[in-house]
Amino acid sequence: MDASGPSPTIGLLVDSLDDSYQWSVLRGAMDSALECGAHLLCFAGGVLEAPRGNGGERNGVFDLATPTTVDALIVMSGAIGNRVGSDRLREYCERFRPLPMCSIAVELTDMSSVCIDNESGMRAAIEHLTRVHAMKRIAFVRGPVANAEAERRFDVYRQALESSGIPFLPELVAVGDFEERGGREAVCALLGERTLSVQGLDAIVAANDAMAVGVLDELAQRGVRVPDGIAVVGFDDIEESRFTIPPMTTVRQPLYEQGRDAVRIVLDRLRNGGPPGRIVRQTELVTRRSCGCHWPHTAKTRDSDATGAAPSFESALVEGHAIIVAEMSRGARGELSAADVGWEDRLLDALVTEIRAQAWRRMRAEKRARALGRASAAIASAHDLDELTRAVAEHLPALGIARCYVATFDGGSGDARLARLALVHTPDARPEAPSWQLDSAVEILRHHVLPSIGEHALAVLPTVFKNEELGFLVLELEAHDGYLYETLRDVFTAALAGAL
């Protein structure tokens, strides 16, 4: 492709779009690419060399990221390389030369990188538990052994215990997989297989938030209260960490900013040349209730009037405003005396704004869920490609997806794989059906999918049925939740399997 053109194309290799960690990074990359006048093609191809049936069958979509389809490449190394390690991942990336490349989360030789300071964040989390909460029996859920970030966090856990004079005990360590199930299985191993007692553990620290969420779920299933029984700490600060029960203490890493950084690095190298760049972002500990911090004030409530209608949020706020402000002042016990006059009102206003924002987001999410349900039903029930085309035209715009392409494979392998363009839906698409002419898959992406006008962010998703690659699906990316795209991928796969 012509790198000097007005709209270069940046490729991004990720495992999946329904993972909060990767979705946050993708959002940053997407926004930065569009601001910089570039296309973004996100290839969601699973974890490299995972077993077929466990994500490995998706790897083939990465073959579509070639110098023919993209001008630069970003690799979510901390996600797609969890099984292979940094050396094997670096070898794998050689196939994409001479593209300017940037690795996120893992430093790879002769490539730009955007990483975080894992050490300071994990050390702060362990020292918070030992110094502030006087905890000594701290278990740890490791990430994948092949993941460099996971191993660094584990090393810091051991070092921080030693610095606090606490012996390292191997029986308090469980190996996870950076997924929620890994956290649940770790609790089963610690409290079940190793017969450790709840009283014998002060806290469980997980190498990422997804596993920490799994830890919380499994502890709840076992009736263990957090943090009364066992404290829980994660790492990442994904959005879900604020809404777990209780809200989760974690180490915040700037996920969105890492996506933006990676785009800027590869575009700078594409346009100006120069050696690979390196950025290291800082982390910070975010304390919430799951470690024992920020206990809520429990106030007695009056019995409600069973015969009266429930007051609106606004009327209840107006009626109770003076009481709320007085309680806030009493709870502060003078510790906020240095704040400006009126801090109580400002804090209350911020709380109300957040509550309303959460309510608005929930309503939008519920509306999208209903639209997704209708779209899924229509697409899955399509008996042929004509019906599928009509279902797409009717339902995808309601989800904010303006562009959709479906291609089916027909021979070949790797970047030489042949395909037919079976469905095209764009705002300016002609009403007639797309050409079924056989072409290479990369040429279909280059000539038929990438719009010639404006900048766009697109997800390239593999359609795999019973471990057989049927083709690929391309959907325009908007600021929706990532699960929407993975759900549509599953629905399209089922529809294609039936139609073909």
pTM of the model: 0.84
**What pLDDT is recorded for position 341?**
61
State which of 53-57, 163-167, 314-318 shows the largest mean pLDDT. 163-167
What average pLDDT does range 412-428 have in this prediction? 81
| Contacting residues for 383 by C-beta, under 8 A, at least 6 apart | 498, 499
pLDDT tops 60 at residue 301 = no
Tell me the C-alpha distance between 468 and 60, whole Å: 11
First-to-final CA distance of the chain:
33
**What pLDDT is recorded for position 226?**
96
| CA nearest neighbour of 448 among 404, 414, 494, 415 | 404
pLDDT in tens, 440-454: 899 888 888 876 667
pLDDT tops 50 at residue 303 = no
Q: Which of 233-242, 271-280, 291-300, 302-311 has the lowest mean pLDDT?
A: 302-311
**What pLDDT is recorded for position 319?**
55
Which band of pLDDT confidence, cut at 50, 70 and 90, is reported for residue 336? low
**What pLDDT is recorded for position 54?**
78
- Which domains can be identified in the chain, with CATH numbers? 118-254+286-291 (3.40.50.2300), 367-499 (3.30.450.40)
What average pLDDT does range 41-49 have in this prediction? 95
pLDDT tops 60 at residue 299 = no
DSSP annotation string for 194-256: T---GGG-SEEEESSHHHHHHHHHHHHHTT--TTTT-EEE-SB--GGGGTSSSPPBEEE--HH
Are the C-beta atoms of residues 241 and 180 closer than 8 Å to each other?
no
Mode of pairing for the β-strands spanning 250-252 and 284-286: antiparallel
pLDDT in tens, 61-103: 999 999 999 999 999 999 999 889 899 999 999 999 999 999 9
Question: Alpha carbon of 160 to those of 24, 124, 288: distances in Å?
Answer: 29, 9, 21
**What pLDDT is recorded for position 332?**
59
| CA nearest neighbour of 105 among 79, 134, 72, 85 | 79
Are the C-beta atoms of residues 25 and 76 closer than 8 Å to each other?
yes
Which band of pLDDT confidence, cut at 50, 70 and 90, is reported for residue 307? very low
Of residues 361 and 209, the one with the higher pLDDT is 209
Mode of pairing for the β-strands spanning 101-104 and 72-75: parallel
Tell me the C-alpha distance between 210 and 147, whole Å: 15
- Each residue of 396-418: b (16+ CB within 10 Å) or e? beebebbbbbbbbbeeeeebebb
Tell me the C-alpha distance between 123 and 251, whole Å: 10
Share of the chain above pLDDT 90, in %: 60
What average pLDDT does range 323-328 have in this prediction? 62
Four-point Cα dihedral 185, 191, 196, 201, nearest 10? 90
**What pLDDT is recorded for position 449?**
86
- The H or E element spanning position 177 is none
